[in-house]
Amino acid sequence: MPFVRIDALRAAPERLEALGRAVYDAMRETIDIPVDDLFQVLTSHDGTSGTLRYGEDYMGVHRDDGIVFVAITMRSGRPPAKKQALYRRITELAQEYAGTEPRNVFVTLTENEPIDWSFGDGVAQYAAATAP
C-alpha cells in the first residue's frame, strides 16, 4: 500500500531503480508491508524542465545535488518507533544500493485510511477485507 514518489537530480535509470529498491526493502524490514506491495513513481529531474530546490544546511545537515526526496503515502497507525526505524533503514539502504549519502535523504510521510486505497478492479480491497 505505501505509495511512494522519489525525486532526484540527473539520476541514471539504474540509480533511480536502486533508490526504489532501497525504499521498498526498508519498508519490508521495518513497517511490515507484504511482499509485492510496491507502488512507486521515480523521477529524475534534468535541472531545466524540472529541478529540486533545497536548503543546504537546514537542521544542521549539509545537502548537495545528490539529494533525494522520498514522499510516502500510507495508512495511519504506525507508531513513532517504526517510522524512525523506517527513516534509518531507507538511509542505510540508499547508501548501500545507490551510493547516496545519508545527509542527502529527505523523507516525508502522509497518512490516510484503509478505505482510501484501490489496488485495481475498481475495488477498495482493504475496506472489503474488514467489512462484515
Contacts with its own copies, residue ranges (CB under 8 A): 3, 7, 13, 16-17, 20, 24, 34-59, 61, 63, 69, 71, 73, 80, 83-84, 87-92, 102-112, 115-125, 127
How far is it, in rounded angstroms, from Cα 122 to Cα 34? 21
Query: What separation in angstroms does the CA of 72 have from each of 94, 129, 132?
Result: 15, 23, 30
Which C-beta is closer to its own copies: that of 63 or that of 97? 63
Q: Quote the least distance from Cβ 65 to its own copies, whole Å.
A: 14
Q: Quote the least distance from Cβ 111 to its own copies, whole Å.
A: 7
| CA-closest candidate to residue 37, choices 23, 24, 26 | 24
Q: Quote the least distance from Cβ 32 to its own copies, whole Å.
A: 15
Question: Could you identify the residue written with the cell 548537495?
Answer: 64
